[in-house]
């Protein structure tokens, strides 16, 4: 049985879906602060609560034979972490340590962890490989880097095997699940919400970066490719592989305006844009060197191109709107 923390959220719910399709059993822990109960099928054991709740964790480990944990649960907004760092350190680090302790107490020694390219901070060069210096520019990035360091110490001292997957920009949807955040700060969902007319325009934060069209360049990775990498990371640990830190990206960068232009073609919608001031701490280019993921995990993205990532989200979002309208909601 695999414990998925944050399994009612975007990437966690998709990874749970892929694990179940592969015949694995999963149990989900999520406090639903940013997750959705209906992202978890009724037949999957679900516990609503915090990863820092010791009693709940010992109940879960007593009621299920947990073999490994995939730990997605975290607060994950850069801006929010700057205005309320205490909450981020408490939620992601303090509660994260409690989770690790309770897992070890129950004999669980395999952990796949959601880390992020935000642990690198302002890149000195792109593409970014795993040995690039880590110097986060936000409390959010620091919470993830701290967890990486804590897991390294726990590996040395207590034999906790872990794979920290440093994702670049997750995007896209499966047939059943996609990205629904409130508030939504990610680019693609907002671009498509503008295409649907749910918001009047999409905000572009800065058009004077040193990039060809002046907007920041990011590496987008399909959520199902991310999910697949978690399963490979789990298999790596099951085979006795060493703890690792691994980037997950496609190794291609697309500017904000390229995303919007591609979405205009796919949706056939004008998608109005508002140019706003730059956001503090937004680097101009974040592109992954994902060689290690291929070499160590044997990972090969199935949706490496931007258009297929955007199309998957658009199709999911359009179906969802139709079924919501049909139900009169
Ligand atoms: N979305 C991205 O592009 C991206 C990029 C890099 C890293 N990440 C990391 O991936 C993970 C998943 O991201 P996501 O986009 O699916 O976010 P999400 O907000 O959709 O999912 C996170 C889930 O964790 C739950 N949660 C948060 N704190 C909790 C706590 N203390 N106890 C129990 N549940 C808690 C939330 O309710 C939510 O369902 C996060 O750790 C995030 O930092 C995401």
Indicate which residue's Cα is closest to atom 35 of ligand 1. 73
What is the distance between the alpha carbons of residues 313 and 140, in angstroms, rounded to a whole number? 26
Read off the pTM.
0.96
Tokens of 257: 């305006």
> CB of 189 closer than 6 A to ligand 1?
no
Instruction: Give DSSP secondary structure letters for 168-230.
Output: -EEE---SS-----SS---HHHHHHHHHHTSSS-EEEE-S-SSSTTSS-EE-EEEHHHHHHHH
| 125 Cα–ligand 1 center, Å | 27
Check pLDDT > 80 for residue 282. Answer: yes
> CB of 35 closer than 6 A to ligand 1?
yes
| 188 Cα–ligand 1 center, Å | 17
> CB of 96 closer than 6 A to ligand 1?
no
**Helix spans in 22-138 (H):** 54-63, 78-83, 85-88, 95-105
Pairing of strands 217-218, 254-255: antiparallel
> CB of 230 closer than 6 A to ligand 1?
no
Q: Write out pLDDT tens, residues 156-214.
A: 999 999 999 999 999 999 999 999 988 888 999 999 999 999 999 999 999 999 999 99
What is the distance between the alpha carbons of residues 90 and 88, in angstroms, rounded to a whole number? 5
Task: Just list the catalytic residues.
Answer: 140
Q: Write out pLDDT tens, residues 116-130.
A: 999 999 999 999 999
Q: Write out pLDDT tens, residues 229-245.
A: 999 999 999 999 999 99
pLDDT of residue 321: 80
Check pLDDT > 70 for residue 329. Answer: no
| 300 Cα–ligand 1 center, Å | 23
């Amino acid at each position: 049985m695999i414990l998925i923390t944050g399994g009612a959220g975007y990437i966690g719910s998709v990874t749970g879906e892929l694990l179940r399709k592969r015949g694995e059993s999963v149990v989900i822990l999520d406090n639903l602060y940013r997750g959705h109960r209906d992202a978890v099928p009724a037949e999957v054991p679900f516990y609503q609560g915090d990863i820092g709740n010791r009693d709940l964790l010992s109940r879960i480990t007593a009621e299920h034979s947990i073999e490994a944990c995939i730990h997605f649960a975290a607060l994950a907004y850069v801006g929010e972490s700057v205005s309320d760092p205490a909450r981020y350190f408490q939620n992601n680090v303090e509660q994260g340590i409690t989770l690790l302790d309770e897992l070890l107490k129950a004999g669980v020694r395999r952990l796949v962890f959601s880390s992020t390219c935000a642990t690198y901070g302002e890149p000195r060069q792109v593409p970014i490989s795993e040995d690039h210096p880590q110097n986060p520019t936000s409390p959010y990035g620091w919470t993830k880097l701290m967890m990486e360091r804590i897991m390294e110490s726990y590996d040395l001292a207590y034999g906790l095997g872990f794979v920290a997957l440093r994702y670049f920009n997750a995007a896209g949807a499966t047939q059943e699940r996609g990205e629904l955040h409130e508030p939504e700060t990610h680019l693609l969902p907002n671009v498509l919400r503008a295409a649907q007319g749910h918001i009047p325009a999409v905000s572009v934060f800065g058009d004077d970066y040193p990039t060809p069209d002046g907007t920041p360049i990011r590496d987008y990775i399909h959520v199902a490719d991310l999910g697949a990498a978690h399963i490979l990371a789990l298999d790596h640990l099951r085979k006795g592989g060493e703890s690792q830190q691994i980037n997950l990206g496609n190794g291609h960068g697309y500017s904000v305006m390229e995303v919007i232009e591609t979405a205009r073609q796919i949706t056939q919608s004008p998608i109005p844009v508002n140019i706003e001031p730059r956001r503090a701490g937004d680097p101009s280019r974040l592109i992954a060197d994902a060689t290690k993921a291929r070499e160590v995990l044997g990972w090969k993205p199935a949706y490496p191109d931007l258009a297929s990532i955007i199309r998957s989200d658009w199709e999911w979002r359009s179906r969802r709107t139709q079924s919501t309208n049909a139900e009169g909601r």
